[in-house]
Amino acid sequence: MTDDALFDATSLNDLSLSNRVGLAPMTRISATDEGLATNEMAHYYRKFADGGFGFLVTEGVYTDDAYSQGYLNQPGLVTGDHVEAWTNVTDAVHEVDTPIFAQLMHAGAQSQGNTHLDGDRTLAPSAVQPDGQKAEAYGGSGEFAVPKAADETDLETVREGFVRAARNAVEAGFDGVELHGANGYLLNEFLAADANRRDDEYGGGPESRVKFPAEVLSAVADAVPEEFVVGVRVSQEKVTDGDYEWPEGEEAAAVFFEALSAAGADYVHATETDATSPTFGAGGPSLAEAA
């Protein structure tokens, strides 16, 4: 195993990584009711740093006090109190000289619990109800709501939320952020032709569907220090539809990955249920190989 490239040191921007094994983001609902990271969360992430991971990516963190929250007891990076609470986590991880990135997430139509809104109200590119049922393990039940189709004001709120959360991540001591553009959440919904039925500049073919996620990524990259890492997670599959595929196949993947890279992504995190399986037909590459 010592000859495996996974265990070779490498660098990412100005960060020196002891190996190429990163802790993947995993949904957790262990923050306070107000979205504050806890001492238990600091201990949780510190354990992975102690275990030798080259870098860590947190669970999805909500980005604004409008529609972004996806679960009750999900952590946020919106307020000064959020920043202070996360500082305890980053300090604990940095004691072991391990970088940690905050995954910035807007739940979109797949939101299952939001303390900032009255009732079951969600936001998406278009008014398309997600398939499937909410997960009781995350505090949800029943069908998802039919989301509001985002107007220009909503899109600006989303964009500003990601930018503010990224700046808060810098203040909280994170080494980078990962924008959650996978698994059917808001940025991923823009990429998906079935969820994105817009007839404006953000809907249509792959070049148009990737435009808003790329704009958000570019705005975040411009708002943080040059050495601060900005990554993006991408999938075809959704939490509510594990079989979804982009209708343009590998052509869409090429457009999406090139646009997101050009917008300022320092890395692309490709994810599917089976990351090693062919994604575009039986003989095609995996999504990671396509990226």
Give domain limits for the chain: 5-289
The active-site residue out of 45, 67, 185, 244 is 185
Using the 8-state DSSP alphabet, how is residue 247 labeled? T
pLDDT at 2: 61
> How many whole angstroms separate alpha carbon 252 and alpha carbon 201?
17
Name the phi and psi angles at 160, rounded to 5: -65, -35
Are β-strands 10-12 and 15-17 bridged in parallel, bridged antiparallel, or unpaired? antiparallel
Q: In residues, how long is the chain?
A: 291
Superfamily of domain 5-289: Aldolase class I (3.20.20.70)
Residue carrying structure tokens 């992430």:
45
Those residues with Cβ within 8 angstroms of residue 274's Cβ, 6 or more apart along the chain or in another chain: none
pLDDT at 31: 98
Query: CA angle, corner 269, sides to 30 and 217, nearest 5?
Result: 85
Q: Which two tokens stand for residue 141?
A: 């039940």
Q: Find how far residue 253's CA is from the centre of its chain.
A: 17
Query: Other CB atoms closer than 10 Å to residue 137's CB: what's the count?
Result: 9
Residue-wise burial string across 197-217, b where 16 or more C-beta atoms lie within 10 A, e elsewhere: ebeeebbeebebbbbbbbbbb
The answer to whether 166 touches 160, Cβ cutoff 8 Å, is no
Beta bridge partners of 234: 181, 270
> How many whole angstroms separate alpha carbon 281 and alpha carbon 89?
42
Report mean pLDDT in 10-residue bins for the chain, 291 residues: 84 95 94 98 98 98 98 98 98 98 98 94 97 89 96 98 98 98 98 98 98 98 98 96 94 97 97 89 89 91
H or E segment at 188? Answer: helix 186-191
pLDDT at 241: 93
Tell me the one-letter amino acid at 195: A
138 carries an active-site annotation? no
